[in-house]
Structure 1
Amino acid sequence: MIERLQGAFTALVTPFDEQDKVDTKALARLVKAQLEHGIDGLVPCGTTGETATLTDAEQERVVKTTIEAAEGKAPIIAGTGSNSTRIAVENTKRAKAWGADVALVVCPYYNKPTQDGMFRHFKALWEEVGMPIVAYNVPGRTASDLMPETIAKLVHEGVIIGLKDATANMIRAQETLTLVGDKPFAMLSGDDFTILPFVAVGGRGVISVVSNIIPGDTAKLVKATLAADFATARPLNSRIVEFSKAMFLSSNPIPVKAAMALAGWAPARVRMPLVTADDGLAMKVRAAMNAYRGMAEDADLQGWMS
């Protein structure tokens, strides 16, 4: 599986209809559009997918819809994390039964475990489920930070096969890779602002938010950087970084869902306690979309409104 964990992966939004139910038809359309635009893998039920607001039954529908719509064309990395090891184990067992290829497991949040506690958490998942695991380190959301030494220990003991690193810290990324050494390991960026430098120092790709709306250009950026084609990568990176500023003007996924609604790809609705983009934010998002369109003739804007 690890050989497939390279490239551009989309942290999928979860579309909700006017009755606030999961819109599986919109999700299936989104999955197919992602693959048509060159995305290498799909990540349902992550932060961007508002998993904290989904019931177990809804998570099942989201993961199964993603798998069915992908038709085996890309790996599916399903979010299964929890701040309870027991619940994370059960979530991961279900994702494996549904047919997901890999579990994306966020570091336990709120209860602030030690490094040893996090090591034991991930090890318990591997021992009890036996599903490939990508750890997800996002200390800005979790208040827990998986350190390079702990990551390397998890890799060397065969517990995890990869890491989604949302720290945007290139020094940490290099230190982690040095400690991991020649062990098979897929380190993926979890930050759209640092795709190019992250891949350049040894990362294998990105799990992206903005690729929900600009999948083609995100895929091109990762491919060019992996090939050390920086003449192609640099201008793409500049455009994506500038556009990403608008996609994080409010809590994720509020802005990107607003953009997708303007593009006609998916509804803008988010679930409480998040609040759907108001007119002011929607105007800023529209302006960013129009500016992105004007940056290059080949910009990835299929279906976008003017």
Structure 2
Amino acid sequence: MFSGSIPALVTPFRDGTFDEDAYRSLIDWQIAEGSSALVPCGTTGEAATQAFDEHFNVVRVCIEQAAGRVPVIAGCGSNDTRNAILNLQKAQELGATAGLLVPPYYNRPSQEGIYRHFEAIVGACDLPIVLYNVPSRTASDIAVSTMARLVKFPSIVGIKDATGDLARVVEQRAACGEDFCQISGNDDLALAFNAMGGVGCISVTANAAPRLCGEFQAAWAAGDVAKARSLHDRLYPLHKAMFADASPGPVKYALSKVRPGFPGELRLPMTWPSEDAQAAVDSALSHAGLL
């Protein structure tokens, strides 16, 4: 259902509030540069700092500006099942193509609790769901056996896998079927993830390098392994530099370099990247030919 290079969009802030004009411009640039879908209000979009109304104003603007040119996968996760349902329903009301949902974080539910969380969500809203498995942030891992139970629900169509465990791509394909859409959540593993059966990446790096990330995914899809590997090597230092300090600090810094005037403001508790991290980003942008 989804494939290619899909940026997990940053949310631009100026003087503490959402900068709608900057966001609309970013969306147009992303689409023109070859991004195949957009994810507003994910982790990189600082969704954790946004109240419901602001969160879904950002989602609304993204859907409105994309105007059907590419799919929009709205961040909808919550550790409260009732709120996750409200989030998904609001995304559907606004016209999102799908919702991106993590398993409940902080609560640390059992696998049965994770299953029942999603069972309740799909029972209340039929908008397609892309699961987002990122145990390093949520302290909850959606086990392959649980995923195999969840795919019986037609609205659960795929996964953003940020476990870092490449073997799971094979295990999930065996458990969930060939039609289950597997998208990498780790830019640095995107080449290997595709080789194991993935079809794209929900990317941090693509915020600042959308054309290169799009060309990389297109090369792989076309079977041009040598070109894909070359582009991956060109992007690899930037993939690493995106996490040289707490994300999304480095990617907002990178955007301020490749799109002068783009607001780099972050909301506490996120902070501007250190000088060492900025130097790593600068070096990586140069390596990629973006400076």
Name the TM-score class by shorter chain: over 0.9
Q: Assess if the C-alpha contact under 8 Å between 2:237 and 2:287 holds in 1.
A: no
Q: Hey, what's the Cα distance between the residues in 2 that align with 1:252 and 1:280?
A: 14
Query: 1:37 matched to which residue of 2?
Result: 33
Write out aligned runs for 1:73-152 (5 A).
73-152=69-148
Query: 2:49 matched to which residue of 1?
Result: 53
Q: Alpha carbons of 1:73 and 1:107: their partners in 2 closer, same or farther (altered >3 Å)?
A: same
- 1:222 counterpart = 2:217: yes
TM-score, with length taken from structure 1: 0.92
Query: 1:298 matched to which residue of 2?
Result: none
Write out aligned runs for 1:21-32 (5 A).
21-32=17-28
Moved more, 233-242 or 187-196: 233-242
Q: Hey, what's the Cα distance between the residues in 2 that align with 1:246 and 1:98?
A: 34
The count of residues paired between Structure 1 and Structure 2 equals: 290
Moved over 6 A (4+): none
**The residue matched to 1:206 in structure 2 has which SS?**
strand
Query: 1:296 matched to which residue of 2?
Result: none
Q: Hey, what's the Cα distance between the residues in 2 that align with 1:112 and 1:148?
A: 17
Q: Assess if the C-alpha contact under 8 Å between 2:246 and 2:273 holds in 1.
A: no
TM-score, with length taken from structure 2: 0.96
Structure 2: which amino acid aligns with 1:213?
A: A
Query: 1:205 matched to which residue of 2?
Result: 200
CA shift for structure 1 position 158 = 2.5
- 1:10 counterpart = 2:33: no
- 1:244 counterpart = 2:244: no
Q: Assess if the C-alpha contact under 8 Å between 1:77 and 1:103 holds in 2.
A: yes
CA shift for structure 1 position 282 = 2.5
Q: Hey, what's the Cα distance between the residues in 2 that align with 1:287 and 1:203?
A: 29
Q: Alpha carbons of 1:197 and 1:55: their partners in 2 closer, same or farther (altered >3 Å)?
A: same
**The residue matched to 1:43 in structure 2 has which SS?**
coil
- 1:260 counterpart = 2:246: no
Q: Hey, what's the Cα distance between the residues in 2 that align with 1:215 and 1:123?
A: 35
Structure 1 vs Structure 2: percent identity of aligned residues? 41
CA shift for structure 1 position 103 = 0.5
Structure 1: which amino acid aligns with 2:10?
A: V
CA-to-partner distance for each residue in 1:238-288, whole Å, 9 max, x for gaps? Answer: 121221111110111110000111222621111101112244433332232
Structure 1: which amino acid aligns with 2:101?
A: V
Q: Assess if the C-alpha contact under 8 Å between 1:123 and 1:159 holds in 2.
A: no
Q: Assess if the C-alpha contact under 8 Å between 2:238 and 2:281 holds in 1.
A: no
Q: Assess if the C-alpha contact under 8 Å between 1:152 and 1:179 holds in 2.
A: yes
